[in-house]
Chains A and B, each alone.
Chain A
Amino acid sequence: MIPPWSVPLAEAASPQPTFSHPMEEIFARILGYYGIQWHYEPRTFPLAWDEQGNVTEAFTPDFYLPEQKLYVELTTLRPQLIRHKNRKLRRMKELYPEINIKLFKRQDLRDMMIKYGLVDEAEKLLGTEAQNAT
């Protein structure tokens, strides 16, 4: 049996997606480390429609964890971004009460990843570009 910590990213969710933010790739690798199955942006939820019934606002959570039956949305600690995402999550709860979704506020994990021997990933993923991106 392959231990969960050795599951490469590509096997954790195949085919390997293109992440829109380095924070998402770090999160995916942590999930892989713990052997937690995940899917990246598998579903879009319409949140608002115009009079013709066209979708005017939608929300695509970053991850779905099938074993936990849980959608996960990641955010940085910027208050404005958190407010914006919380508003969308509240709307999600109103329209799709049966869906479990959780907002994860991500902090800098560089020191922890170095401490636990994930330094290569940290250096690759937590470089200057990653720190400056939203």
Chain B
Amino acid sequence: MATITLSRQLGSRGDEVAQAIGERLGYRVVYRDLLNTAAQRAGAPELALEVLDVLGLLQTSATPQAHQAFQQALHELMVELADQGKVILIGRAGCVLLRERLDVFHVRLVAPVAQRVERIAQQRGLSPAAAQAQVEASDQTRRAYLRQHHHANWDDPHLYDLVINMEKLTVDSAAALVCLACTHQVDRHDSPLERPLG
């Protein structure tokens, strides 16, 4: 498997797992560069800020035309990166944009809300109420992004090849699971019995 997309909830340790997978497989992890490059290609660099601003603190609002151009640029960029291979693409609906490709493996990381709230509160030195508000705002923003731009349900497990509940797993064990699943996919596609005809 040449490319992995990773969707994650705030507080599910998704970024850490992505780094761990990258180290195990020798893949590079792409997140911010993806947004910035796509926004610049779309001629609306401020869109990268809007996408990062999950709490709505920057109060930006690009035009629908800019959003459309950004989505197009994002799609093209993801395809380019997937063609290059050995890459982990975090977020931005990679599971939808690269859905048709057999060489891309889609991973989703989730965790119980209470655990995510506790983790965010601890990491950021917040009260439980503030951490809860951040988690809820992040979920809402990310869910709305998929619905608005791709008419997809962020929580639909069918969008992903592997969904991992991080409640009882370490970062390393989750990374190992993803690597194992990817390897199995490679084996399956390489098997003459499993290879599509034609």
Contacts and interface: CB of A to CB of B under 8 A. Distances in A.
A57 to B, nearest CB: 25
- Interface size bracket, B side: 20 to 34
A106 B36 contact: no
B159 interface: no
A104 B55 CA distance: 16
A67 B130 contact: no
Closest A-B pairs by Cβ, 5 of them? A117-B130, A117-B126, A70-B45, A68-B45, A102-B46
**In the complex, which of the residues B57, B60, B126 has the most CB atoms of chain A within 10 Å of its own CB atom?**
B57
A5 B56 CA distance: 15
Contacts of B144: none
A86 interface: no
A116 B19 CA distance: 27
Interface of B: 19, 32, 36, 39-40, 45-46, 48-49, 52-53, 55-60, 123-124, 126-127, 129-131, 133-134, 137
Contacts, number: 70
B166 to A, nearest CB: 17
Interface residues of A, number: 29
B189 to A, nearest CB: 34
A3 interface: yes
A134 interface: no
A5 B121 CA distance: 12
Contacts of B126: 116-117
A117 B45 contact: no
A30 B55 CA distance: 10
Interface string A107-134: 1010011011111000000000000000
A67 B57 contact: no
Nearest to A6: B124
A112 B58 contact: no
Contacts of A59: none
Nearest to B126: A117
Nearest to B62: A102
B59 A116 contact: no
Interface string A1-38: 10101100000000000000000000100100111100
Given A109-B57, A117-B124, 19 more contacts: A3-B124, A6-B124, A34-B52, A34-B53, A35-B32, A36-B49, A65-B45, A65-B49, A67-B48, A69-B36, A69-B40, A70-B46, A100-B45, A102-B60, A115-B133, A116-B55, A116-B130, A117-B131, A117-B134
